[in-house]
């Protein structure tokens, strides 16, 4: 099975990258391939992102050579967010049903994971993140009813948004993986503004619900040396710990954020106000 490897980059080198090199090193495209699982392996905290699109058949999570493991979750944990039609994930014989924007956490040691869609005409789209794990925590389905939800921003600053904390310490125990879903309200386009970095964690953003013909401009780089990358619907971007991660769209949209690294403190952020960016 093919796996794209994204190597770690020093910020001094990054400052000299042109558009194509930025895209080659940080952009993850073609996440959903019919009846397949896609694998993307980042050297930032050994984080993985990918997608599963089961249409005509169920799809099984397989290990890959890069992991040197007998099964995918031998030394890893997994977070899944469904951004498509209703589907099921069967983990070692236990079935979990995921509706739109619901999440599932699977702990280290789960040997068999199978993805299915309820309706081939409206298939599930399982976006996943995975990180190394040092112990096993229980599997857990996270619905909107048990997620931690926060309202941030304002219409006046064009960043009114709903933060759905799905796989975080207040909802489910994990080793280092955290995931959530942010929804921009109509008329708002800025996400994660004011911007921030966190040297103790890397992050990955997956943009979706981007209307046809629209785009999101994702900002990255050190606060005093920023760059941008234009994102299309259902694309992801890897953000190093030294980089800001923020974006502005030509329409409102949603995105899944995922993190791994030194700690599990969601509020551990080094804030950078808009007038401090260059």
Helices first, then strands: H and E counts in the chain: 2, 24
Whole-angstrom distance, CA of residue 17 vs CA of residue 22:
6
Considering only the top CATH level, what class is 3-276? mainly beta
pLDDT along the chain (278 residues), means of 10: 93 96 98 98 97 97 97 98 98 98 98 98 98 98 96 95 96 97 97 90 97 97 96 98 96 98 84 91
Handedness of CA 266, 152, 162, 195 (dihedral sign): negative
**pLDDT computed for residue 12 by the predictor:** 95
Dihedral, 186, 232, 14, 265 alpha carbons, nearest 10: 50
Q: Which residues of 198-234 are buried (b: 16+ CB within 10 A; e: fewer)?
A: beebbbbbbbbbbeeeebbebbbbbbeebbebebeeb
Give Cβ neighbours of residue 31 (< 8 Å, ≥ 6 apart). 38, 49, 50, 51, 127, 206, 234, 235, 236
Domain residue ranges of the chain, discontinuous segments joined by +: 3-276
What are the structure tokens assigned to 95, written together?
A: 């079935």
Determine which helix (DSSP H) or strand (DSSP E) holds 11, and give its type and residue range: helix 11-14
Q: Model pTM?
A: 0.97
Under a CB-based contact definition with an 8 Å cutoff, are residues 123 and 85 in contact? yes
* Distance from the Cα of residue 238 to its chain's centroid: 9
Under a CB-based contact definition with an 8 Å cutoff, are residues 178 and 264 in contact? yes
Under a CB-based contact definition with an 8 Å cutoff, are residues 277 and 223 in contact? yes
What is the chain's length? Answer: 278
Three-class DSSP category at 206: strand
Per-residue DSSP letters for 130-174?
EEE-SS----EEE-TTTSEEEEE--TTTT--EEEEEEESTTT---
């Amino acid at each position: 099975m093919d796996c794209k490897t994204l190597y770690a980059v020093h910020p001094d080198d990054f400052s000299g990258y042109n558009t194509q090199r930025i895209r080659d090193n940080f952009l993850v495209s073609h996440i959903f391939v019919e009846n397949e699982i896609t694998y993307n392996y980042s050297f930032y905290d050994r984080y993985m992102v990918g997608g599963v699109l089961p249409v005509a058949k169920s799809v099984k999570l397989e290990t890959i050579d890069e992991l040197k493991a007998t099964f995918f979750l031998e030394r890893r944990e997994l977070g899944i967010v469904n951004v498509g039609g209703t589907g099921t994930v069967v983990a070692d014989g236990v079935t979990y049903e995921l509706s739109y924007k619901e999440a599932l956490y699977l702990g280290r040691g789960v040997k068999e994971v199978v993805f299915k869609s309820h309706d081939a005409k409206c298939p599930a789209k399982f976006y996943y993140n995975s990180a190394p794990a040092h112990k096993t925590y229980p599997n857990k389905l996270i619905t909107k009813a048990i997620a931690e939800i926060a309202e941030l921003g304002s219409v006046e600053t064009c960043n009114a948004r709903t933060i759905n904390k799905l796989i975080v310490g207040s909802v489910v125990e994990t080793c280092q993986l955290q995931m959530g879903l942010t929804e921009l309200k109509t008329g708002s386009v800025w996400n994660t503004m004011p911007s921030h970095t966190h040297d103790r964690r890397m992050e990955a953003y997956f943009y979706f619900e981007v209307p046809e013909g629209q785009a999101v401009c994702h900002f990255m780089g050190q606060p005093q040396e920023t760059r941008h990358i234009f994102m299309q619907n259902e694309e992801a971007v890897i953000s190093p710990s030294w980089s800001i991660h923020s974006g502005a769209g030509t329409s409102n949209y949603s995105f899944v954020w995922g993190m791994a690294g030194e700690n599990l403190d969601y509020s551990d952020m080094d804030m950078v106000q808009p007038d401090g960016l260059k």
